[in-house]
Amino acid sequence: MGFFKSLSGRFLLLTILFVMLAEILIFVPSVARFRMTELQERLELAQLASLSVLATPDDMVAPELADELLDNAGVINIVLRRNEVRELIISKPMPAPVDETFDLRDASPMQLITDALRCLFAPDDRVIRIIGQPIKGAGLEIETVLYERPVKEAMRDYGLNILWLSALISIITAALLFFSVRGLLVRPITKVVDNMMSYRDDPADARRIIEPSSQIRELHEAEQALQDLQVALSQSLRQKARLAALGGAVARVSHDLRNILTTSQLLADRLEVSSDPVVARTAPKLLGALQRAVTLCESTLTFGKAEEPAPTFQKVVLRDIADEVLENDALRKTGDLVDFDRKVSPAITLVTDRDHLFRILTNLVRNARQAIEASKVAGTVTIRAEQIGEEIHIRVEDSGPGLPPRARDHLFRAFEGGARQGGTGLGLAISWELAHALGGTLELEATSQDGTCFLLVLPRKR
Ligand SMILES: Nc1ncnc2c1ncn2[C@@H]1O[C@H](COP(=O)(O)OP(=O)(O)OP(=O)(O)O)[C@@H](O)[C@H]1O
Ligand SMILES: [Mg+2]
């Protein structure tokens, strides 16, 4: 059965079916036509027989001769109308009443087909009458009665011949098609599929990239596209491997650097209690700088781990999370420059990862607060949310100084966008990745000296 699921198997089956169908479409009309010719022939024979009677002086022949003429023509009686009055009849006693009469003069093709089919399925011993036009204008009408059986047998033989022939033709056609489809389609496709599988097993092996070789245009194009894809993929895999190696090196350096720095921190701690006033004064700055360096190393290490745990989706009430974020961030405030505000309806719920959403909002709120604090002008950070269709639009707005150009140019790019003293430039990059992992987007909606607005769009359902 598996064979008929293959492309060539399907083709074989369909070809046999279609050829058979075509043959049947030819078979029926040609059998009808055969019957028509056969009956016409009988009429002509009957007419010939009647002509020999006409040759006698008074249109009369001895009964034995009449019988012989009728037997020769294979009919039971003949009626030939020469003109309105002259009518010639030769006949034998009728063996049985006539079962059906067929007039060949004005039969439509459809009629002939039905008659032929009915004849094939009728009982064998019917007696039929046929009426036709005499040939060569030898009279007005000729009519003859005969047994249907010989006609029917001839039709059967003819039909069987056609059937055998069609079977043979369909087998030959199907076989030819089968082999050409195998050669033209199946084999090249198998080749491409084999190549895909071998490439999948080891994409790093450049020898496994396909060489387009098909002579058929469509397949050649497919091979070409596959080749392009494989070349690009192999390249990016190589690049990825290189970047991973680089990342590994950076992680190792960061790790060792952090250890060195913590040791230096311990040593620097002692400087604070130095009796030298200059040393004691610069010590806090040195400690601050060291702390920032340690933080940078630690963030690099965290980012290097890269694989965030996959989100676990659950239904959350947005307002609860917003409140928690703001309360947490308020604890880190220095001074009283920043006010927090939250405009979120308690009715807004969404199915998302609570922890991811918390981290995104924390990053955005912290950035906004830090910007305001750095500007030394009082301001507000607002979380605002609305539901639009199946999406939740969450805005984190502030009245701060706006994004510095460096941050704007490298927005959402790890390590590159940081323009803040002590920042690593990772917060926005991580938030962007988290938002995408949740099926959402994060973008900078507006920024100017009057403030900044980040827009986080999340799907309401998973
Ligand atoms: N609301 C904001 N207003 C003004 N500047 C902003 C705002 N948000 C971000 N920025 C700028 O964009 C830069 C990048 O932000 P990001 O959160 O990615 O890094 P970071 O805050 O410097 O460091 P990290 O968050 O990793 O500690 C920031 O350094 C800051 O200059
Ligand atoms: Mg930040």
Quick: pLDDT tens for 296-332: 888 888 777 655 677 889 999 999 999 999 998 998 8
Q: Whose CA is nearest to atom 13 of ligand 1?
A: 418
Q: Helices 318-330 and 354-375 meet at what angle, rounded to 10?
A: 40
- Asked if residue 181 has pLDDT above 60, the reply is yes
- Tell me, in angstroms, the distance from the centre of ligand 2 to residue 349's CA: 26
Q: Is 400 in the pocket of ligand 1 (CB under 6 A)?
A: yes
**Tokens at 225, concatenated:** 């596209």
Say what the pLDDT of residue 362 is.
Answer: 93
Q: What are phi and psi of 457, to 5 degrees?
A: -110, 125
Q: Is 419 in the pocket of ligand 1 (CB under 6 A)?
A: yes
- Asked if residue 94 has pLDDT above 90, the reply is no
Say what the pLDDT of residue 307 is.
Answer: 57
Say what the pLDDT of residue 259 is.
Answer: 79
| pLDDT tier, 24 (very low <50, low <70, confident <90, very high otherwise) | confident
Q: What is the mean pLDDT of residues 382-397?
A: 96
Helix (H/G/I), strand (E/B), else coil: 263: helix
Contact yes or no for 404/374 (Cβ under 8 A):
no
Q: What are phi and psi of 144, to 5 degrees?
A: -145, 150
Say what the pLDDT of residue 375 is.
Answer: 93
- Asked if residue 1 has pLDDT above 70, the reply is no
Q: Which ligand is nearest to the CA of 407?
A: 1
Quick: pLDDT tens for 235-270: 998 888 888 888 878 877 887 888 788 888 888 888
Long-range (24+ apart) CB contacts under 8 A made by 93-101 are: 94/127, 94/145, 95/127, 96/125, 96/127, 97/127, 98/127, 98/128, 98/129, 98/145, 99/126, 99/127, 99/128, 99/148, 100/126, 100/128, 100/129, 101/128, 101/129, 101/130, 101/131
Q: Whose CA is nearest to atom 19 of ligand 1?
A: 425
Q: Is 425 in the pocket of ligand 1 (CB under 6 A)?
A: yes
Q: Is 417 in the pocket of ligand 1 (CB under 6 A)?
A: yes
Q: Whose CA is nearest to atom 2 of ligand 1?
A: 368
- The DSSP code sequence of 407-431 is HHHTTT-TTTS--STT--S-HHHHH
Q: Which ligand is nearest to the CA of 380?
A: 1
335 φ/ψ sector (left φ>0, alpha ψ -120 to 50, else beta): left
Of residues 137, 105, 127, 111, the one with CA closest to residue 40: 105
Distance (Å, whole) CA 296 – CA 417: 14
Task: Give the residues across from 398 on adjacent strands.
Answer: 381, 452
Please tell me the least confidently modeled range out of 24-28, 344-348, 371-375: 24-28
Say what the pLDDT of residue 308 is.
Answer: 63
- Tell me, in angstroms, the distance from the centre of ligand 1 to residue 419's CA: 7
Task: Give the residues across from 144 on adjacent strands.
Answer: 78, 130
Quick: pLDDT tens for 347-389: 999 999 998 999 999 999 999 999 999 999 999 999 999 999 9
Say what the pLDDT of residue 113 is.
Answer: 92
Alpha helices, DSSP H, located in 145-216: 149-181, 187-201
- Asked if residue 393 has pLDDT above 90, the reply is yes
- The DSSP code sequence of 125-146 is T-EEEEEEPPGGG--SEEEEEE
Quick: pLDDT tens for 109-120: 999 999 998 888
Say what the pLDDT of residue 62 is.
Answer: 80
- Containing 385, the helix (H) or strand (E) segment is strand 379-388
Contact yes or no for 294/259 (Cβ under 8 A):
no
Q: β-pairing, 391-398 with 379-388?
A: antiparallel
When the pLDDT of each residue in the chain is averaged and rounded to a whole number, the result is 88
Say what the pLDDT of residue 63 is.
Answer: 80
**Tokens at 206, concatenated:** 């450049």
Q: Whose CA is nearest to atom 12 of ligand 1?
A: 407
Say what the pLDDT of residue 340 is.
Answer: 96
Helix (H/G/I), strand (E/B), else coil: 240: helix
Q: Is 134 in the pocket of ligand 1 (CB under 6 A)?
A: no
Q: What is the mean pLDDT of residues 398-404?
A: 93
Contact yes or no for 394/382 (Cβ under 8 A):
no
Share of the chain above pLDDT 90, in %: 42
Q: Whose CA is nearest to atom 27 of ligand 1?
A: 423
- Asked if residue 203 has pLDDT above 90, the reply is no
Helix (H/G/I), strand (E/B), else coil: 229: helix
Q: Is 407 in the pocket of ligand 1 (CB under 6 A)?
A: yes
Q: Is 162 in the pocket of ligand 1 (CB under 6 A)?
A: no
Q: What is the mean pLDDT of residues 278-297?
A: 87
Q: Is 451 in the pocket of ligand 1 (CB under 6 A)?
A: no
- Tell me, in angstroms, the distance from the centre of ligand 1 to residue 371's CA: 8
Q: Is 31 in the pocket of ligand 1 (CB under 6 A)?
A: no
Say what the pLDDT of residue 257 is.
Answer: 86
Q: Give residues with Cβ within 8 angstroms of 333, minimum separation 6.
A: 369, 373
- Asked if residue 444 has pLDDT above 90, the reply is yes
| pLDDT tier, 8 (very low <50, low <70, confident <90, very high otherwise) | confident
> Is residue 452 classed exposed, middle or buried when 0-12, 13-18 and 19+ CB atoms within 10 A define those classes?
buried
DSSP code for 5: G
